[in-house]
Structure 1
């Protein structure tokens, strides 16, 4: 990914979080001009700065590392359901809602026959759904 790619991504994430450039810079502990240069693609942030920005934005630092070209894309199929279940910020109701939406999107794309056993039987094994 190009330098401007990480900058554009950071800008998008900042706007989604409804933070001004100055607010994010303060939260991440970087200077306002430096963050502006990163967002405009003029500077390439270090792994440490990316980690600080990820923490301030409450997103995965690994995702930023991949976007910045510091890490390769993960190979294999990431287990989205495990990640949702392991998230300490979400309560159980939010986790169930996310899992339901995720499973419904997968079922719509793959069809019921392509779902794994745990996906196909998850609704029948959990009486709360």
Structure 2
């Protein structure tokens, strides 16, 4: 796991908050965190947990994965994969069986291209022998 890049995360959060036309207090209230704590995150003084990042993402109406990437918790490829899965699972126009089939097809293409993922969503390293 990469180390948290708190300074860039804070700048990114501030930019997203301003784009959403929210005050610091409004975002803090919407995310369920204290105003001083959010201020410290934006100034790069605090490292928020993944749970706090998720609350902030929900309040800002952006994906939590985007904030995880900014914080260094998730790398860009992991975020892309998570977003594909999220979109498939959230689609109301297909039923659960169809969603599972679509995810299986997606995984088979990834495996065919050398990017295998186990059921828990962890990447298998094709260079290591299986146990």
* TM-score, with structure 1 as normaliser: 0.58
1:127 counterpart residue number: none
Structure 1 residue 74: deviation in Å? 1.1
1:96 counterpart residue number: none
Matched, 1:50 2:35: no
3-state DSSP class of the match of 1:74?
A: helix
1:21 counterpart residue number: 24
Write out per-residue CA displacement over residues 100-129 of structure 1, whole angstroms, 9 at most, x where no aligned residue.
Answer: xxxxxxxxxxxxxxxxxxxxxxxxxxxxxx
How many matched pairs? 85
- 8 A Cα contact 2:65 2:83, kept in partner: no
1:64 counterpart residue number: 67
**Structure 2 unmatched ranges of 5 or more:** 93-131
CA RMSD of aligned residues (A): 2.6
Structure 1 residue 9: deviation in Å? 0.4
**Structure 1 unmatched ranges of 5 or more:** 89-129
3-state DSSP class of the match of 1:23?
A: helix
Structure 1 residue 2: deviation in Å? 2.1
Cα distance 1:77–1:10, how it changes in 2: closer, same or farther (>3 A)? same
- Return the structure number with greater helix share: 1
Moved >4 Å (runs of 4+): 75-80
Of residues 7, 13, 16, the one that matches 1:4 is: 7
